[in-house]
A and B are shown apart, each in its own frame.
Chain A
């Protein structure tokens, strides 16, 4: 290590880094390479045999596998699009409203909107399943009260609605995250800039579009990448609401449920750790690609807005 050779005084850097590096290596880097190794092997007669990229060839070449994989990827993308179109704009809008100095009960709104974020997926999934239940839910009754019963559908049981419904529930749960991040970013904008704008006649909505929004763009970038990583790793909510089979008819299948069923097996279907690891590696590569694109193409260009 360079620190050691230069001078003995800098030993502390290695020592202080060691716990984090060791824990991260043991819990993240080793398993990652373990998964990579698993994805290059196959079980033949109770023995793990090296097969190169055969598992990836199966995943993309065999219609049984590739169909499931592309369906999961497509659903994941739709899940991400909903979050980008609904969660983040709403989060930004709420944050902008919260940052208006004249608003009262700010703390209450902030807490109320943030609370679902700290709830467990199981609670959120179960509560919404009950709310939307055609048998005992309050959703059909509420719609009936305002005379809109015909708008009610068993959303979670219809192929065309199920995934969007779950995505919107996830939006409801996590809208607090972009709100908090953007709220913090808005508060950090120096008053001088806004006052200077006011001198030039830029106030109200105009101030938001012309001054605040450009200044919080880096935060929006960070939120987008967090949303991207979170959505492509999604599993819990689908699993609690629709089961490992991603009912109805695999229409809520995301890569997480596909990986889960493949790796651990399901009912009489035995698990296949090698193909499971292959899917896990593909998820890793997809997310890695997304993050790299963000880091090298978008974030570098956004630096100029920073102050």
Chain B
């Protein structure tokens, strides 16, 4: 083909494309979830377009590692899409403050979400919300149901039952009681500290008190989770110090470990890998205490205020806030749970089990994600290291608490009362 012909075809395509665009509005979604491309194209967008034939939606993801910088560059240059997928907390807050995310506080659909769901995308005082919450991940324990049956074990309800259960699995010797390592350090924090600790600091109540400066990380409710973690070492496999995150996943799906301290994002991977029945239980409660779960906000969607298609974008966001989207999204991505208050039915039994904990347990986000990870040293990384150290036994729970408080004191001044 001659070059001139190519140019001709390209020109024709542009003209035709322009003609098509005149009939309908095209919305572009910026996102880092390139793994979900087919789910958006085949399931989510067609469902929306069926209802709104005049709006055409394009899902245009960037690689996760480059998303923040690429998005910033596009927003500065005015070439960003109409809809922007929001990372939780400071990343999106900075965009809102720079005027790159529209204020959505007045949208009625936000009433479908609780305060915890909105906390990831609201200003520090909670007065403005700038992204429509989409999904969260829940922490708990996934277990090998076949192994439990074989050993005649039942899901533990309280911490006492939990450690008695671990002792029994250890005594029996067929299975490693828990699959977790400290080589990568972050699991000890998110699947350990945040998972079992939320009940000690009573979720949002304790987290807010910490931000307000009314509590210290040396207080018992923040040190007790470390005390519980300090017991974990003997229940983990031999050489857990050098066991990495993929090692733990394999150990569990190969059926060599009985319990896996988990995040709900594992569900689809485990379903594909494990050939045994799985069950899940929430972090065991303290005797006489209430149930709390770490239900961490992860993903939301906002609007580019510079978008020429503001009306259409708002229509799409309203749909993202609807129960219909909640059902669609949670089922397409088991383990990423819609943050909506709507009663969502999930087809995956394990995912349904985990999301049902929300009915009996109180939800809270990870303790240091909001505000407290702004300075240096960053509490989010500090609690990785201290939690792993406590499990390894190279730091006492009290030292860990003191270390965390010192790190926080070195830069954080609580707001004046």
Contacts and interface: CB of A to CB of B under 8 A. Distances in A.
Interface in A217-261: 242-243, 245, 247-250
Interface in B350-388: 369, 373, 376-378, 380-381, 384-385, 388
Given A154-B239, A154-B241, A157-B182, A249 B388 contact: yes
Contacts of B181: 157
Contacts, number: 94
A247 B369 contact: no
Interface stretch (A24-32, A82-90, A132-140, A284-292): A132-140
A157 B240 contact: yes
A249 B185 CA distance: 9
A5 interface: no
Most buried by B among A153, A242, A270: A270
Interface on chain A toward B: helix, strand, loop, or mixed SS? loop
A139 B237 CA distance: 17
A163 interface: no
Interface in A130-172: 132-136, 140, 152-159
A156 B242 contact: yes
Given A156-B183, A248-B182, A248-B185, A135 B243 contact: yes
A243 B251 CA distance: 21
Interface size class of A (residues with CB under 8 A): 20 to 34
A269 interface: yes
A213 to B, nearest CB: 40
Interface in B246-276: 247, 250-251
Contacts of A270: 90
8 contacts: A132-B242, A134-B238, A154-B241, A156-B241, A245-B185, A250-B385, A268-B90, A270-B90
A250 B385 CA distance: 8
Contacts of A155: 242
Interface on chain B toward A: helix, strand, loop, or mixed SS? loop
Given A134-B243, A135-B237, A249-B394, 6 more contacts: A135-B247, A245-B381, A245-B385, A268-B89, A268-B381, A269-B378
A306 interface: no
Contact of A243 (B184, B389, B394): B184
A266 interface: yes
A278 to B, nearest CB: 13
A64 interface: yes
Most buried by A among B239, B240, B251, B384: B239
B207 interface: no
A267 interface: yes
B139 interface: no
A140 B239 CA distance: 10
Contacts of B392: 157, 159, 248-249
Interface of B: 89-90, 181-186, 237-244, 247, 250-251, 369, 373, 376-378, 380-381, 384-385, 388-389, 392, 394-395, 407, 410
A245 B381 CA distance: 9
A133 B407 CA distance: 33
B241 A64 contact: no
Contacts of A129: 244
A247 B388 contact: yes
B182 to A, nearest CB: 6
B243 A157 contact: yes
B183 A248 contact: yes
Most buried by A among B241, B250, B407: B241
Nearest to B384: A245
Nearest to B378: A269
A152 B240 CA distance: 13
Nearest to A266: B381
Nearest to B373: A268
B183 A159 contact: no
A214 B329 CA distance: 74
Contact of B394 (A136, A153, A159): A159
Contacts of A152: 239
A267 B242 contact: no
Nearest to A247: B185
Contacts of B389: 248-249
B183 A64 contact: no
Contact of B183 (A140, A157, A269): A157
A237 B171 CA distance: 39
Contacts of B373: 268-269
